[in-house]
Structure 1
């Protein structure tokens, strides 16, 4: 995972959390037209990075206490499993972006 992120996402640590999520393609984008409000979905971005984040999130919601708590919270609120997993992908990317920016190691985050 680390090699893919470093090689294919050189902007990691330099962009805001919204911009890095949009660059990778895990930010929810709207499909609105006029007064019609469409569904939000993810698309575009760097597919190879998104694939690595997907597999990392699958492992993370099972073994990482921080991501597991986020995932369980979303499932408890009635979100579909795929939506909750994509939210964990975005959360993981935001954490990694902050770690690279601050040059800090991983710390377990408490989820309120």
Structure 2
């Protein structure tokens, strides 16, 4: 359920899921990938003891 809610309200996960669907992935695999991405974000925040920074590894525009 967190991946489905993130798909609706999290702009970073929305873009990620839209890209997967545009590339022809099924909805179930998109949800699985969103779950994996959320889990990796949570683990990174817990391990680093820093607040979530959406621009941490963003490329310059």
- Please indicate the TM-score interval, normalised by the length of the shorter structure: 0.7 to 0.9
Instruction: Provide the alpha-carbon RMSD of the alignment.
Output: 1.2
CA distance, structure 2, for counterparts of residue 75 and residue 104 of structure 1: 31
TM-score of the aligned structures, taking structure 2 as reference length: 0.84
Gaps of 5+ in 2: none
Higher helix share: 2
Gaps of 5+ in 1: 1-54
Q: Stretches of 4+ moved more than 3 A in 1?
A: none
- Structure with greater Cα Rg: 1
Aligned to 1:83: 29
TM-score of the aligned structures, taking structure 1 as reference length: 0.47
Deviation at 1:106, TM superposition (A): 2.0
